[in-house]
């Protein structure tokens, strides 16, 4: 891992930016060319977010404010709070939920996606496919 803070050694301590790595993922498994896209999303209170879908490539996200109910195929649903990150590998993995976990406040997040050129960034999953893959869904823990 690269030490981002050492690149500021030439600055006086009071002038150095504070840099904190929030998440790090090994992308060695990514094949071929990718387009990058960064989006800013605001979910109104109690918004269910996008229906189950998948992305053509991996996505890195950061919750700016609020709470995101986040669920990927093979993982239990979890709440990602402001200041926390989320990651999904894209490809065949279904992204079940990206809902606002708050009934009375908006939730805002930023996502950078590495997309396959010429393919949609997001593809909705049919009810038939959801049913056929239901065994891959992990229930929420109590």
Domain ranges (residues) in the chain: 33-133
Residue 40 zone, left/alpha/beta (φ > 0; ψ -120 to 50; rest) = beta
Whole-number Å distance between alpha carbons of 42 and 74:
26
pLDDT tens digits, one per residue of 25-81: 666 666 666 788 889 999 999 999 999 999 988 899 999 999 999 999 999 999 999
**Predicted pLDDT at 33:** 64
Task: Give the side-chain half-sphere CA count within 13 A for 87.
Answer: 7
Pick the range with the lowest mean pLDDT from 5-9, 93-97, 109-113.
Answer: 5-9
Residue 118 has pLDDT above 80, yes or no: yes
Q: What is the pLDDT of residue 43?
A: 95
* pLDDT category of residue 1 using cuts at 50, 70 and 90: very low
Q: What percent of the chain has pLDDT over 90?
A: 56
User: pTM of the full predicted structure?
Assistant: 0.81
Tokens 């992308």 belong to 27
Domain 33-133: homologous superfamily in CATH: Jelly Rolls (2.60.120.10)
């Amino acid at each position: 891992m690269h030490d981002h803070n050492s690149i500021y050694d030439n600055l006086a301590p009071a002038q150095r930016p504070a840099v904190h790595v929030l998440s790090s993922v090994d992308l060695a498994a990514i094949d071929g060319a990718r387009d990058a896209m960064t989006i800013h999303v605001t979910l109104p209170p109690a918004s269910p977010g996008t229906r189950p879908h998948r992305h053509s490539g991996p996505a890195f996200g950061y919750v700016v404010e609020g709470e995101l109910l986040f669920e990927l195929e093979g993982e239990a649903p979890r709440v990602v709070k402001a200041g926390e990150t989320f990651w999904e590998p894209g490809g065949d993995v279904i992204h079940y939920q990206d809902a606002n976990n708050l009934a009375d406040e908006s939730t805002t997040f930023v996502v950078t996606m590495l997309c396959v050129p010429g393919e949609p960034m997001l593809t909705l999953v049919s009810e038939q496919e959801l049913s056929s893959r239901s065994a891959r869904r992990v229930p929420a823990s109590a």
